[in-house]
Structure 1
């Protein structure tokens, strides 16, 4: 501790002689015991105690009465007396003495004491120097201050050693201005310490990141974020940054830890690119094609324009591989990709969908004749000679063409029919283009008959809903129902969705079926609520096609209003594939559902793309573990591991987990141990029609 700026002046008293100090004054005692220091008065020259407050007496281990008359030497002991003797002599000489010392308490604790000895001087006669009659002792326990100082010093030393040892950049700043940094930050940015200290952190971020950095600093956030920084040499470095506010005892500044993630970001961008592109030709892959085609078809229908697919297969490509080797075959594929894009910026969307097969999407067409002209131009461009590994080659492709809307409006449907037309082009002599025509697929009469019956069912609404309960794994209470559609087939009886949903999707019938399911489920649930039955939600399934082509939010809002059903009692289940297509549109739809108050669950999780990115990107409420993973638990260790991972993933993302296909008590016990939230399956209750479900509800206890 540092000494005060000015030491207490000696006390002089010309009125009260030392023999008349009134130590028994109640007011004096009250004031002395109230001050937060140890206080005593010793007379001179023997330095015997005349008065001590309670704190001083307690510290000496004596009472306020028993300490009276004892000398300082007797009160503090011989060892301490020898330490402070020079200061006592200074006080007896009429000068204020100030010192600090460590005192070992009887319990073994070391206390740091700050002491002031203030002489009490009394004037004897006019013109004569005052006489020393005693000294006031004021002792302040500064142990906690010393400990705090030591802690700060140790913390600073640890921070300094850590900052010099780590490879991560560290900067200290106050209100956004850098006050210090380590050598690692200088290496990462290329700037010397003198070029960093004193400058605002925001100066080093690229302009696009300024708002993010400013918000992070001003709000005092402590989560991790990413920022791009311009290196002194001019190139851009990607950083992962986390800031922490230091405690006030340490200065109240912020420490920022910076990690170079440029390599990781490049690898991530490369992985994201390869997820949508062919690694050899760098053209979009099949997945990218389907995403692009889905958006294009929606836009074309809105604009009442046509879209054509050109399915391209190279003739005799196998011969090139067998005669010149696979490396030559790869070079030929890259040359084909180059020629597909030869038209420059106005080139149509082209993708490699596998092997020697490519697809070109032509949009904004007014007539299918334009597709034929584009195919002929492409054939001419492809036939131009090229040299592969020194061998001259002439490429001869066969092209099949399908056109929306006359050949269908679904992406899968158009792709399939373009491929069918391509095979007809090969069968017709190769090196030509062929438009798809009905009958090329050789559809069996049974399939056409099934399509006819399904269309009739849509017109007559020949469907029924079955309801399967979802219960809480812990406790078994009813949580809600899942509505499952059944087709009342005129010849086969009640048919499950696996038998007709795919056909409905390929024939453009899934949307009217989905609308009927939504309305009927909401109507039935409202009727149960009005009858006084448990108010639980119902979940309905939406196919990927419905999710893309319908105005789902508007449809649901309208049905909820018409049925007078609060949105909290409706849940929507969608598959992973629906989330992976048309990202922006999907995000808007999910945001709209959340705004309505409708919960969203990812159905059959783990059977599709299983990309964790969309779980973070989209506003979701539940993850449903597919029944295929639950079926063999707890006997199959691999399935147990998968279910465990999904449940833990849901918990980490603050989503509910729902296990499907639960059939045995052992499976339910496993889910309970894993912390799964909800379960459904034959082991709990089978899907029931509305009448059976109502009876089941009424039979619930309580």
Structure 2
């Protein structure tokens, strides 16, 4: 059966006025109308629409049961509704039918029981109306709503639907944001969830129907505030305005922006203020000093610190270890300075302290305290590292009256401290700026000299003391300066070592000496070796053995014609790396000599340990011989030491015949000096070689 509608009980199928009226009403309704009697369930009345829908004539339907009219299959689908109506319940349901063209049509069916005087149903009135279009539209709305709900639940953004501020619905993200259940959110005003200080903003936007993005703070159930971005959209409905509000948690974004703002003025590793913040703080300190009442308060000290040999830490232990040391130093500075001053990290291995109301004495006292604070070893993954510092100090108003100028003066003083031995503090002085400019100028000129190959080699002969025959040359670098002329090594080598230029200079010297000697050999000149000096800086920074092998291969010089001269400083390191490097050099067939022997902390242990060939007696011991008995004793001892260790000895700085006679008497093996031959350029050395060959 189908849906019910109330109607008066029909009369029999006669032409009575009531029956005529009933037919007229049924036909005018536009729907399909039928009446089935109970308990027989036989049809007593139908209109034309009902008959047409079933495929029967009106006359043929009368007296039939619903099962006979619709067939067993269709009846089985609606029988449950019919039974409810027979029991006295008004029933309404949707019924699906397939049209002859195959399309699905939907019908709304109402079944209304008709009660007799005894209160027992004695009939059922069925009214059926097609609702395909309405049903399709409603289904589309429901599906759209379901899609929107799924979207709302899927998004991380909180969504509320409200009318005049009262929440009608919300998604799960909103419950997470507030810490409340959906039932606790729905029905309350949305302003209940906004922090009191921010409510006026939300109320103003809502009252004006604004659709712009704004920021407020949501209060979580536990009391903490959450910054959010909110945008509302008005949705006009019948009789009222509703708004959908999208709420986005911006906590992470705000933290990121705060972090970015922090990093704009702080170092990420140590979280100390950076150079920009240092200059701002220094500017503020100077302004406060100018406005101060007492002379002490009108002074400011700036201490600029640099970690000594920090690059060596990074190179040997790795950058991770270097970072640990930087953090440890920063922490110790915080502890030592405390609230007395402002600490910053303006550079990679540099720190600074702004000390207000501080004179020269107070600045020096803090510097000493910093040295003590940083003197304790730092444990780096099981390795104990002693990290010394050098400190440059500038004072306001004596050294400069601006923050940038004061910083420059402190940096200049720091360079002076480093150049004069490191590990101590140095105050800025008036002449330092000129010295610093000269240092910068020399750095620029050395950089140009390396790029433009402005260096030349001079060669000083080394002779056999027994018969005066040529035993070899020592290659000595000179700088052909475009303005200052030919510069000796003592005018630039020490500077090059401390400012990072010695490695490229040393590589050039090694290659040029080998190239020149091979060229002389190829022309038939006497085949004697050449000695090249290697500084302690080069030995630490370079793969010396590998570079020597490469140069020999490049130039074609036989290894027995090359010697390297090292200072005692290199050997006193007593490290496996030094031993392995010297063994690798020796394995190439290259000779090894100790230069300036006796000026360092000589130790028989390293003389025995390392694969050495020669000891070169420093010129300072030869200079006053034979008149100085002390120097004669020293020279004698060195020669005897060399002989006992089977090392050849070379006397440097030989200038007088008496010195040559003494060295011959002491059985010194070799000698060099102005008394034998001065260093000469390549052309002069070639001529000297040729002359010796003829003689």
The TM-score, its normalising length taken from structure 2, stands at 0.43
The TM-score, its normalising length taken from structure 1, stands at 0.43
Larger Rg: 2
